[in-house]
Every structure is written in structure tokens, then in C-alpha cells.
Amino acid sequence: MTHQEYQSIWVELRGTAFCQGWVDVQGINTRYLHAGDPAKPALILLHGVGGHAEAYVRNLKSHAEHFSVWAVDMVGHGWTDPATEDLEIPQYIRHILGFMDAMGIAKASFSGESLGGWVSARMAIDHPERVERLVLNTAGGSQADPKVMERLKSLSLQAASDPSWAFIKARVEWLMADKSKAYDDLVATRQAIYARPGMKEGMKHNMILQEMEVRLRNILHAADYGRIQAPTLVIWTSDDPTADVSEGRRMASMIPGALFTVMDGCGHWPQFEDTPTFDRIHLAFLHGEPVPEAERVGP
């Protein structure tokens, strides 16, 4: 790889005024990235299982112009304390509510990818007073595909058990339609996280939702989606490794008034793979403006 081709997380943050911090949330040392004026409307960005706040490094600058942006390492993930108990959706909800209370955030728009979308949807269902607008980005929670679950579980446990470059790279490549987007700096960041003390055991707790019995008791049904009151945009991709476009459309069809759009040429991280397109769609929706790329499919 030449110097011209090398991509760094720090380059993504060039020109962005942001901070990294930790806060005690119910005894859990919780890490976050923040950008934007705290007086502006709050936007909380939630990563997927096994992920971390760096999933959003390419989106902080554009969104911080309009929002107080918080990319949070959820409990058991990133540089937040590793999990010491099985993490089902209620545990994630409790942690994010605690984070909001600790940071003085009464209400926020939520945008969640994969597991983060599952958590965001459940937050909107159970705590509508805390959610302004909702974006579900290749979100989990609507289905239980044993092949996808086993693949995700095996890749993640392998990477945490032996955080070698090859295993971590394979886990990052799984996220991308264009495997060349699994940049060395992103792999190195995840490698450092997975090599943390306690992460090997913690990852087993993180992966509990990939067990069929556990997943089924946390899964969201049509009646659950039907309770979402917040304006909602469902973003899917042409090459998502967890489900095809029809599943994203089905999810949107169960949410009152939901908009639905598909980003071509992207996998599980469209916000990273095609940042300009994602940001344009995302910001228009969050501002309550028309989204030409989206169609209304919710009842």
C-alpha cells in the first residue's frame, strides 16, 4: 500500500473539533466521542455488536455542524468496560438511558447500525419521550437467521480469542461490500480493543443474542414496531451481509409512517463506505426535510 492510499482514522477526524471522554454510568466506565455545540439538539449514534464509536468517525464533522453528536461505546464494547454478564437488549437500554441521564440529555434523535439499530428501536418503543427522530441503519432485531448468527458469532469470538491481524481483518471485512475499505488503521483500532484484558470473556457475553433462544425472547415483532411514534427512516444496503433488501423493507413496513431507502454498493457500514451519500440522506431526514431517495412504506 502506498502512502497515497493509506487511510487513517485520524485523517477522518481532520478539521473536526471533537473530544473523547469517559463517564461513570451505573458503575460502568463508559467511553464516548462528542462533537458539536452541546446547546444544539442531541444525536446519539450507536454501533453494532462487537463494534465501537469509530464506526462513525467519518460522520462526526458533517453532523456536528447541526447537532450535539454523541457516538457511544455501548456496554461491553469498545473502550467501555468489558461485559461481565450476558447482554440482552434490556441491559443495553438501561446503559444508554443511564448515559443520557449522566450527560444531561433529556431527549435525542437516535441513529443505530445493526445492534445499535435494535437498541434504538427498542428505546423508541419503550421510552418514546426520550426519542426525537429514529434512523435504523441495517438494523438487527427483526429476524433470527441461524446462518448469519453463527457466522457473526464465530468471527467475533475467534477475533477476541486470538486478536491476530488476520482474524481481526476478516471481522472488519465482513462489514464491507468493498473489502478494500477494511483499512489497516481501522483493523489496528479494533485489534487493540479486542486485545484488552477481559475482552475474550466479555465477547461471549456480547454474543449471547446470537443464541437462538435468547434472540427470540428479544426479537421485535410487528406489534412492537407498530408502537414507534418517532419519525423513522430505515436505511438498507444492496450488499448487507445480515439480510437482503426485502427484510429492510419489511421492517419499515411495520413502522407507522416510516421512510425506506437503499444504498447501493455498501455492506453493513454504509455510513463508512459511502459517507457523502449517507450524510446527505441522514441529515435531510434528521432536519425533517424531504428525502428524495426514500419512499414512504410504513402504514
**pTM higher than the cut 0.75:** yes
Distance CA 47, CA 50 (A): 8
pLDDT at 239 over 70: yes
Question: Can you read off the three cell numbers belonging to residue 228?
Answer: 414507534
Band of the pLDDT at 8, cuts 50, 70, 90? confident
pLDDT confidence of residue 5: 66
Q: Which residues contact 277 (CB under 8 A, 6 or more apart)?
A: 263, 270
Mean pLDDT of 221-247: 97
Q: What is the pLDDT of residue 7?
A: 79
The mean-pLDDT minimum among 57-61, 98-102, 154-158, 224-228 falls in: 154-158
Tens of pLDDT, residues 130-142: 999 999 999 999 9
If one counts every other C-beta atom within 10 angstroms of the C-beta of residue 219, the result is: 16
Do the beta carbons of residue 186 and residue 172 sit within 8 Å?
A: yes
pLDDT in tens, 35-86: 999 999 999 999 999 999 999 999 999 999 999 999 999 999 999 999 999 9
Q: Smallest Cα–Cα separation from 270: which of 149, 139, 156?
A: 139
pLDDT for 12? 85
In a 13 Å sphere around the CA of 153, the CA atoms on its Cβ side amount to 16
Mean per-residue pLDDT, 241-255: 97
The predicted pLDDT at position 21 comes to 98
**What distance in Å separates the CA atoms of residue 144 and residue 148, rounded to the nearest whole number?**
8
Segment 143-155, tens digit of pLDDT: 999 999 999 999 9
pLDDT-derived band at 3 (thresholds 50, 70, 90) equals very low
Residue 198 scores a pLDDT above 60 = yes
Query: Rounded to an integer, what distance in angstroms lies between the CA atom of residue 165 and that of residue 143?
Result: 31
The candidate with the shortest Cα–Cα distance to 175, out of 66, 83, 54, 77, is 54
Q: What is the pLDDT of residue 97?
A: 98
Domain borders along the chain are: 14-145+219-296
- Is pLDDT above 60 for 30? yes
Handedness of CA 127, 286, 17, 112 (dihedral sign): positive
Is 3.40.50.1820 the CATH number for 14-145+219-296?
A: yes
